[in-house]
A and B are shown apart, each in its own frame.
Chain A
Amino acid sequence: MPKFITISTKTELLRIPSEILMYVTSDGNYSALYTQDGKSRLVSLQLGQIEDLIGEYFEEDQSPFARLGKSLIVNKDFVFFIDISKQTITLSDWRGHYVDKTASRQALTGYKKALESDAYERI
């Protein structure tokens, strides 16, 4: 069974299987969740609250999600390319669509190292 990230308010319920949640961006007091099927959904939670919620579903060493700076959460399973000099991270839905997001140099450097370490540990 997939893990469903579930966000519930008084009148709405949003369920997204974690493996298709590509990334989450911050829009002030709102957050937009983008899924592999090209859809997005705006929720009235700040990014930190979304982070707390995702954190409930995973142990750190099993989690595909990482927070990069104030405005971005990414799922590493969709990370295609990191360019620290241009401060961009490119995500792919692996179906021919790509999206560039910006993050700080320091956050990208740390994340790149973490992904490298992750890759080596699996070899």
Chain B
Amino acid sequence: MPMSGYKDNFRDDEFRIIGKPSVEQQLVEPSEPIEPRERRKWLPWLLATVALLVLVLLALILSRRPKEDPLDGVFEPAEVVAPPPETKVKPELKLLGHEPDSTMSFTGKVDTVINDIPLSIYIPYHATPELIVGAPDKNDESIIFSAQAADIRADNYNILGAFVLKGKPLAWGLSKKGYCAIIDGEITVGVSENSPLFEKATETEGYFFRQFGLVDNGVLVENELKNKSERRALCSRHGQIFIAFTNTPESFHDFAQALVDLGVDNAIYLVGSRFAFGSYIGPDGERVNFGEGPHKYKNENYLVWRR
């Protein structure tokens, strides 16, 4: 099991050589963070220059005689207020939605607009994700969110791409690089041709499916499909999992860019269009259906959250 409580603060825009500082480095620069060699090579010169400048400044100050200012004592010396140095602070990513105080299970909904694209964000609370094959029962009150997951093939209605249902592989293949794995009730979203989480899902009665990748570690994934449709995506952002819907027809590129701009770390596509069936139960306990159907194709499959 993963170790809990471990906090990894490494950022995506950083790199570092892995290793302990050598003895020489510890003597010269005991508290210097690990940095590329090119920068360290200049450090002694930099230190010498700074020391020289400090000495020159000290000599200047000591040799200067204090000047009398005729306005001293009459007016307060004019105070030059220097503008504060510009600091670029990365905005802290806040979790979307409002974490409910209660343990009630429901789906929170947040509407926002990114790059002129109206998005609805659905956040399931206090519920466990899983995949099901076959249409969800509209009267099943345990399901607080459902949306179609993997595509099914138009020719034989088999599931497109690798798919694991409660540890049982139902389909194999790598037509799409995005993946979602549910291991011990925890969702992992990623983009990779070869994810060992497929095997892990088979070993742990977990779930796995593939879809188009949209965002890979904060980087937009280009897809060849150029048409526009109402899009849906499963996203992870700052550890939070949610589902994003566009409320207008959008291209893959524009949708993925909007997710990147929203701060999403990883995202994969979910079956979209205004026809794809799904539903959610909001904080008022009312079920809202979206799309049409279900169509009841034999392998129509859904990502659901159960309370």
Where the two chains meet, the residues of A that have a C-beta atom closer than 8 Å to any C-beta of B are: 25, 27-30, 32, 40-42, 44-49, 51, 54-63, 65-71, 73, 87, 102-108, 110-111, 113-114, 116-118, 121
A65 with B10, Cβ < 8 A, contacts A102-B216, A103-B217, A113-B38 known = no
Q: How large is the interface on B (under 10, 10 to 19, 20 to 34, 35 or more residues)?
A: 35 or more
A residues less than 8 Å from B3 (CB atoms) = 44-46, 49
Partner of A70, one of B2, B10, B186, B196: B10
Partner of B188, one of A27, A47, A68, A103: A27
Majority secondary structure, A binding face: mixed
**Alpha-carbon distance A64/B192, docked complex (angstroms):** 24
B residues less than 8 Å from A110 (CB atoms) = 14-15, 36
B75 at the interface (CB under 8 A from A): no
A59 with B19, Cβ < 8 A, contacts A25-B192, A27-B196 known = yes
Q: A27, B195: Cβ atoms under 8 Å? A: yes
Where the two chains meet, the residues of B that have a C-beta atom closer than 8 Å to any C-beta of A are: 1-3, 6-8, 10-22, 25, 34, 36-38, 41, 181, 183, 186, 188, 190, 192, 194-197, 199-200, 216-219, 265
Can you spell out 28 A-B residue pairs with CB atoms less than 8 angstroms apart?
A: A32-B195, A40-B194, A42-B196, A42-B197, A44-B1, A46-B8, A48-B6, A48-B10, A49-B3, A51-B18, A56-B20, A59-B19, A59-B20, A60-B34, A61-B37, A65-B17, A65-B19, A67-B15, A69-B12, A69-B15, A70-B10, A71-B12, A103-B12, A104-B219, A106-B14, A114-B36, A117-B41, A118-B37
Q: Could you tell me the distance in whole angstroms from the C-beta of B182 to the nearest C-beta in chain A?
A: 11
Q: B37, A121: Cβ atoms under 8 Å? A: yes
Q: B14, A107: Cβ atoms under 8 Å? A: yes
Residue of A nearest to B7 (CB): A48
Number of A-B contacts (CB under 8 A): 148
B residues less than 8 Å from A28 (CB atoms) = 2, 186, 188, 190
Q: A47, B8: Cβ atoms under 8 Å? A: yes
Greatest chain B CB density within 10 A among A41, A104, A106, A113 is at A104
**Alpha-carbon distance A21/B27, docked complex (angstroms):** 31
B residues less than 8 Å from A61 (CB atoms) = 19, 22, 25, 37
Q: B15, A60: Cβ atoms under 8 Å? A: no
Greatest chain A CB density within 10 A among B13, B19, B25 is at B19
Q: A49, B15: Cβ atoms under 8 Å? A: no
